[in-house]
Chains A and B, each alone.
Chain A
Amino acid sequence: MHPVLRLVAQRFALGLLLLWAASALIFAGTQILPGDVAQSILGQSATPQSLANLREELGLNDPAMTRYFNWLWGALQGDLGTALTNGKDIADSMGYRLKNTLFLASCAAIVSVPLAIFLGLLAVRYQGRWPDKMISGVTLASISVPEFLIGYILIYFVAVKLGWFTSVAMIDDRMTFLQSLNAIALPVIVLTLVVLAHMMRMTRAAILNVMQSAYIETAELKGLNSFKVIYRHAFPNAIAPIVNVVMLNLAYLVVGVVVVEVVFVYPGMGQYLVDHVAKRDVPVVQACGLVFAAVYIGLNMIADIVSILANPRLRHPK
């Protein structure tokens, strides 16, 4: 077996193992929460008899192990159970939310990743001079301001004063693609500003690190101009650290957008999770946790695999 294939398979297996461990943690975590689901559903109207009935119905009397494996088995088949609060199928209602979140996240990624890498390259090209300092200054300032504040500032100026975009990012299935894009423009801008600095700084640092190498001098002595030196010779050797930070930020775009979704009233996963945490709807919280864990682990696994593939020593052994 080719060593790269073996390494990739290894990463994949480790990812699955990690996901399984995460599922156990999520389940255990929700079990040790104080309070009783049946109690919270019935609230004021609870009688001892109705509580006992509901517990029986929800399977709360089974041992934790049995419930965990039933839940895991269901999740594997795409059955995440039903929400306690409204009795709807979780997979159905979450599917719609997840689609929205992924739509927002991918739009933000499509804008922010190339922009961050381009700005990183630019900062290296003009290292220590004013473009470098300006890029660093602006991106660091934007990451330092809390995202809800940026959100409200944008709403006030861009949506209210200028009227370019809507302040509420409500989207639904009847909207055309362009209408949807218009609706999410502001949250995309906010998310971009939030993740830009981290990716840009890492790109800059990774490439500057490579720029110390002797082969960069070789490239300069070939008479290549600075940009060619950077993107032909430095960038390919800086891919691994860059991909890692990009994936971390993509994961953040999916699992960390709660605040932005709430600010813009966007019907995504974050809002869905927050709503149901407030209502103590344990099955929904578990399901969201599992999906978030899967996204996080999946993206980081991709980063690992890309790093392996980017290494010519592994790709082309002696």
Chain B
Amino acid sequence: MANVLEVKNLKIEATVYPPGEKSRDITIVNGVSFDLKPGKVLGLIGESGAGKSTIGLSAMAYGRGGVRITGGEVWLNGRDILAGGLSALRKLRGAEVTYVAQSAAAAFNPAKKLMEQIIEASIEHKRCSKADAEKRAIALFEKLGLPDPENFGNRYPHQVSGGQLQRAMTALALCPQPDLVIFDEPTTALDVTTQIDVLAAIKDAIRDTGVAALYITHDLAVVAQVSDDIMVLQNGKTVEYADVDTIINNPAEDYTKALVSVRSIDHKEMVPEGTPLLRASGVNARYSGTKFDVLKNINLELYPGQTLALVGESGSGKSTMARVITGLLPPRDGEIEFDGRILSADLKSRSNDDLRELQMIYQMADVAMNPRQTVGTIIGRPLEFYFGIKGAEKRRRIIELLDEIEMGEAFIDRYPAELSGGQKQRVCIARALAAKPKLIICDEVTSALDPLVADGILKLLLNLQKIENVSYLFITHDLATVRAIADSIAVMYQGRVVRYGPKSQVLEPPFDDYTDLLLSSVPEMKLGWLEDVIATRKMESAGN
């Protein structure tokens, strides 16, 4: 059978404009070749910056920003699409090849109804009449498990949930009956419990329509569920290209092996001892101007030098709990006891020591640092502010902290923009440690990072805990992370703690239905996992 897509020796370049330097060309992708038969799915996997999205978009001869294809060939349905001009490309974009974006919430036009957007390409390219396109869209809504398929298209993007939008995006891509669909991280922005449903819907839709697909993701466990072949990419080059079974069960390259065996941390759970460092009792909280509690009767304890993980989907109230503990959101009732004293509910009336002993690390290290300050200034600020340390002594402490986060003195004069995602998060950790806190609240600190980098951060956090005897309140939706570092776990669902206890107990059956759903939704590096889970789970995700 003829190939739908053939990519030969692809080279992609971009022009970068570093501040204060001359602009120069960098190579994003070099020497990548693959082909795709009808009805087959190729997974492109790699860390951010590996060039996987860029390669995906090259199948439409589209480059984001200043990105351009400078070498190689892209053959779609037997035609070299790089040879034709822009108008030839327009004829096949949205017709023969379509695209599913990572964030459907941003990729849909907020001013137009879903149906209008979904059938637009079919009509534009005269693939079928408007009535037929609508009929096909409704059939796709049904196949993708969207509620009320007849009327779903009459809604605006903001009127449906994130998981539904991602399915609608899939319908948008499949409606013109293309030969190839590019899925660019279609489930990455979703909750783990929602991801599984969308993943299953996408997989069914690909199978039923017989379309070929490129599936781009950084999550090997996810791509293993939908792909026939997998290409592992690093720094714009192919590391390994083989069928899915080989990649998962018998990888040849070290890099692939590392990806397959990621999350190798073995943390032995500590038993609670002494008096709790943090105790929340009977906390109820709501946001001003609303009429319902987002936190309902929360009781938690965290012991010195240990880690309590707060787990749940988005909207479960876990970040709100952090706001209550830090004093950003005074609770309606209930108390926060910290190190033997009751913390005042309001941030303004807390003492300097209260503030110092309770530090935070955020999900987006990028925006948590002043881009115009050097690493040294950023880490030095708490030293000066809380302890009045200045001059040579301050520099010595900063270097000490940089060593602790395994970065070293060389970084002291760098700016955040010169650091990688993992390094930025390390600097944020050092800044929190500089205050010599007793408790650090980690709010989804590894969610924005690639798996291998996240792994390094978790190892660092565990190491620092041993040295500094600091406690972590670890907020995450990712159960694999929890398994790696927690001592005790609180599972939150719709503002309540539904399961709470030592890690071994919480992760041990029998489970309540929600914990079961949450645990079973974590993708496993195993072929056929998706089908098994869908067949055996007890409840469906609330927000799908």
Contacts and interface: CB of A to CB of B under 8 A. Distances in A.
Interface of A: 213-215, 217-225, 228, 233, 236-237, 310, 312-313, 316, 318
Contacts of B93: 220-223
Interface in B56-102: 60, 62, 64, 89-95, 98-99, 101
B419 to A, nearest CB: 25
Given A214-B107, A215-B106, A237-B111, A221 B156 contact: no
B124 A214 contact: no
B109 A219 contact: yes
A65 B124 CA distance: 67
Nearest to A218: B107
B99 A223 contact: no
5 contacts: A214-B106, A215-B106, A215-B109, A218-B101, A312-B158
B121 interface: yes
Contact of A218 (B90, B95, B108, B124): B108
B110 interface: yes
Interface residues of B, number: 31
B111 A312 contact: yes
A316 B106 contact: no
Interface in B108-127: 108-112, 117, 120-121, 124-125
A136 B116 CA distance: 34
A222 B101 CA distance: 12
A229 to B, nearest CB: 10
Contact of B101 (A217, A223, A228, A312): A217
Contacts of A237: 109-111
A222 B94 contact: yes
A221 B90 CA distance: 8
Given A215-B109, A225-B90, A318-B159, 7 more contacts: A215-B106, A218-B172, A222-B93, A237-B110, A237-B111, A312-B111, A313-B158
Main SS of the interface on chain A?
helix
Contact of B60 (A219, A221, A313): A221
Nearest to B60: A221
A223 B62 CA distance: 11
B103 interface: yes
Contacts of A214: 101, 103, 106-107
Contact of B125 (A217, A223, A233, A236): A223
Interface of B: 60, 62, 64, 89-95, 98-99, 101, 103, 106-112, 117, 120-121, 124-125, 155-156, 158-159, 172
Contacts of A224: 90, 94, 120, 124
B90 A223 contact: yes
A221 B108 CA distance: 12
A316 B156 CA distance: 8
A221 B124 CA distance: 12
B106 A312 contact: no
A212 to B, nearest CB: 11
B470 to A, nearest CB: 39
B99 A221 contact: yes
Q: What 9 A-B pairs are tightest by C-beta distance, nearest first?
A: A222-B94, A223-B93, A223-B94, A214-B106, A236-B111, A222-B121, A223-B90, A215-B109, A221-B99
B94 A215 contact: no
A312 B95 contact: no
Nearest to A233: B109
A223 B95 contact: yes
Nearest to B96: A223
Contacts of A217: 64, 101, 107
Contacts of B110: 215, 237, 312-313
A27 to B, nearest CB: 39
B91 A215 contact: no
Contacts of A316: 155-156, 158-159
B121 A213 contact: no
A236 B158 contact: no
B158 A221 contact: no
Contacts of A318: 158-159
Given A217-B101, A312-B110, A222 B60 contact: no
Q: In this complex, which of B60, B95, B98, B120 has the most chain A Cβ atoms within 10 angstroms of its Cβ?
A: B120
Nearest to B110: A312
B62 A220 contact: yes
A236 B109 CA distance: 9
Nearest to A238: B111
Given A223-B90, A223-B92, A215 B120 contact: no
Contacts of A225: 90
Contacts of A223: 89-95, 121, 124-125
A221 B111 contact: no
Contacts of A213: 106
A145 to B, nearest CB: 37
A313 B109 CA distance: 12
A220 B107 CA distance: 11
A225 B90 CA distance: 7
Nearest to B106: A214
Nearest to B93: A223
Nearest to B108: A215
Contacts of A221: 60, 62, 93-94, 98-99
Nearest to A234: B109
Nearest to B98: A221
B178 to A, nearest CB: 11
Contacts of A228: 124
Nearest to B103: A214
A296 to B, nearest CB: 29
Contacts of B155: 316
Given A214-B107, A220-B62, A223-B125, A236 B99 contact: no
Contacts of B117: 218
B64 A222 contact: no
A236 B112 contact: yes
Nearest to A236: B111
Contacts of B94: 221-224
A219 B107 CA distance: 9
A80 to B, nearest CB: 43
Nearest to B159: A318
A315 to B, nearest CB: 8
Nearest to A224: B124
A233 B111 CA distance: 8
A318 B164 CA distance: 14
Contacts of B108: 215, 218
A222 B116 CA distance: 13
A233 B60 CA distance: 20
Nearest to B155: A316
Nearest to A312: B156
B101 to A, nearest CB: 6
A84 B8 CA distance: 89
Given A221-B98, A222-B121, A223-B121, A215 B156 contact: no
Contacts of B109: 215, 218-219, 233, 236-237
